[in-house]
Amino acid sequence: MKNNKALTLVIVITCVNLLLWTMSDNDKESMADKDFKNYLAESWEMSLSQSPIYASMLGDKRFNTEIVSNSADEIEKRKLKAIDSYDEFKTFNINDLSESNRLNYMILDKDFSLEIDSHNYPEHFMDLNQRGGIQSFYETGSRMIFSSYQDYKDWLTRLEKYTSNIKNANANYKNGLELGYTQPKHITTYVLEQIESMVAADIVNNPYLKVFNEASLEIVTPDEKDELILSAQKLIKESLNPAYSDLAKFLRNEYIPNSRNSIGIKDVPNGSEWYEYLARYHTTTDLTPDEIHEIGLTEIKRIRAEMEDIIASVKWSGDFNSFLDFLRTDKRFYYDNADDLFDAYLIMSKKIDPLLPMIFKDFQKAPYGVTEIPMESAPYTTTAYYNSPSKGRPGYYYVNLYKPESRPKYEIPVLSVHEAVPGHHFQISIAQEMENVPEFRKHQSFTSFVEGWALYSEELGEHMGLYDDPYDKFGQLTYDMWRAIRLVVDTGMHYKDWSRDDAIDLFVNNTAKSILDIENEVDRYIAWPGQALAYKIGQLKILELRTKAEKELGDKYDIKDFHYEVLKRGSVPLSVLESYINEWIESKK
C-alpha cells in the first residue's frame, strides 16, 4: 500500500513538473509572438509616417500635408534607417514564432533583404520615366480621398512642398550625369516633351488644377472652391511651373546632349550586376537573366503554335504575318471613337462579374470603376492599368482612349480580366480584406505574385467562356505572347546587345498588337528595367502548381479550392507560395 502511494505521489509530481515545464515553454512562445506582434504594429506605424502619401491613399490623414523628400541626404538617411530596422528585425528567431508569424517573418525577411540589396544601386539617378516620373505628380491627386475643405488645403500644402522635389530631382540628375548614370536620350526626350507641354499650357488647363476644378460642391462651398482654384493657380504660376521650367532647361541643354544613346542598363556603371539584382527583385527568384531569356524563347514557340491553330480554324488562306496585318488594319476590329471604346470596356466588366462563381468560392467586397487614362499621359503609356481601392474610394481600372482606331476590340476581354476581375482588383481587394493578419500583409506587393496572378487570370477567361470567338481567343494568346516576348526583349536590351528595333521587330512578327502599343511597351521596358519579367515568371509558377494539384489530387482537386489557397495569404514571394501549395496538396491527399 505504501509503495502504491509513493508511486502515485511520484507520478503526480512528475506530471505537475511536466505541466509547469510545458506552460513555461508556451509562455516563452507567446511572449516571442507578442513581442513580434508589437514589432509589426510599430513597424507599420513607422512605414505610414515614412510613406505619407500612401497613408493618405489608405484613408489615414495624420500625415496629410507631408511628402517623401528625394534629396540625396534624405535618401541616405532612409538607407541607414532601413539597415537599423533590418538589424532589429533579425533579433527575432523564426523558430520561436507561431506558424502564422513565421509566414509574416518570411515575407518581411524577403522584403528587407531585397531593399537592402537595392542600396548598392543609385535609383534616384535613374528615375526619369515617361510613364510616371517627376513630371506627373498631379496624377497622385486622383488617388487622394477628398472629403473636406481641409483635405484640399492639405493637398495644396503638399504641392508647395513638391516644388522642392522638382529642384532635388534636377540636382540628382546633374550628379547622375557626372557619374555616368543617365536614362537613354529618347526616354528623357519624352519626359521633356511632357514637361514643356504642361508649362506651356494655359494655366486653366494645367493638370495640377484638375483636382480643384473638380472639387465637389457637396464637400466645399462655392466660395471655398473659388479660393482653392485661385490659390492653386498662384502656386502653379509662382512655384511649380518655374521649377519645372528650370528642370526642362537642364534636360534640354545639358542632360539629353550628354546622356547615352544606348538603351540597356548594362551600359551604366555596374549595370549588368544591377540588372541581375532587378531580375531577382521583380521575380522573387534566383533565376539569372540568361535563364529568363531562354524561358521566354520557349514560351514564344509554344504560344506561336497555339496561334497557328487559331489561324487554321478560321480558314485563313495567307501566312502568319498576313493574318497579323489583317487584325491590325481591318476596321471591323476597331471603334472609330473614344465613347464607344469606353462603353465596350464597361460592358465587358459587367459581363465578367457574374461569371466568377464558376471558378471561385471567395469574393472581394470592394467595388471598382472603369475610368479613362488622363490625356496628358495617354499618348506615352500602355493600354490599361489599375489603381487599388482604399477607405472611401473604389478601385479603378484605367483604359487608354487615345487613338481608339489603334485599340482592337479583341483585346478588351483579356485586358479586363487582367486589370479588374479576377485579376488585379479581385486579388488586391481580397488581400486588403484579410482578417487576423498584421496590417502590412494587407498591402504587401511582390510584383511576381501580383502581376503573375493577373496574367494567370487572363487564361481563366477561357474557363469562363470569354474567348468563344476565335478572334477573342487570339487576343488572349496575343497578350500571353506579349508577356513571353517581354522576357526576351527585356533581358535582350538590358543584359545582352539587343537594339530597340530588335525588340520592336520581335513584337511585330509575333503579335497583333498595334505599332503604337508595341513602341510604348518597348519604351516602358527601357525606362523600367526588370519589372516586365515578373508577369510571365509568376504566371508560369501558378500554372505549374495548378497542374501539380490536378495531377496529384485527381478527383479531390477543385479549381475553386486551388484559387482560394493561392489568394488567401495575400501577396507572397513565389517560393513561399510554392511551399504552402505543396503543403495543401499533401493535406488533401
Q: Would you kindly state where each structural domain of the chain is located, as residue ranges?
A: 123-261, 299-542
The predicted model scores a pTM of 0.90
Say if residue 404 is preceded by a cis peptide, omega within 30 of 0: no
* DSSP string covering 473-527: HHHHHHHHHHHHHHHHHHHHHHHS---HHHHHHHHHTT----HHHHHHHHHHHHH
Do residues 383 and 411 lie in contact, with contact meaning Cβ atoms separated by under 8 Å?
Answer: yes
User: Phi, psi at residue 39, to the nearest 5°?
Assistant: -60, -45
How far is the C-alpha of 437 from the C-alpha of 463, rounded, in Å?
A: 31
CB count in 10 Å sphere of residue 496: 16
- pLDDT tens string for the chain (589 positions)? 444 433 333 333 344 343 333 434 444 457 999 999 999 999 999 999 999 999 999 999 999 999 999 999 999 999 999 999 999 999 999 999 999 999 999 999 999 999 999 999 999 999 999 988 999 999 999 889 999 999 999 999 999 999 999 999 999 999 999 999 999 999 999 999 999 999 999 999 999 999 999 999 999 999 999 999 999 999 999 999 999 999 999 999 999 999 999 999 999 999 999 999 999 999 999 999 999 999 999 999 999 999 999 999 999 999 999 999 999 999 999 999 999 999 999 999 999 999 999 999 999 999 999 999 988 888 878 889 999 998 778 999 999 999 999 999 999 999 999 999 999 999 999 999 999 999 999 999 999 999 999 999 999 999 999 999 999 999 999 999 999 999 999 999 999 999 999 999 999 999 988 888 899 999 999 999 999 999 999 999 999 999 999 999 999 999 999 999 999 999 999 999 999 999 999 999 8
Alpha carbons 249 and 255: distance in angstroms, whole number:
9
Q: Which is nearest to 498 in space by CA: 509, 511, 487?
A: 487
Alpha helices in 389-469 (DSSP H): 412-419, 424-432, 439-443, 447-463
Measured distance CA(27)–CA(23) in Å, rounded: 6
For residue 390, the SS3 value is strand
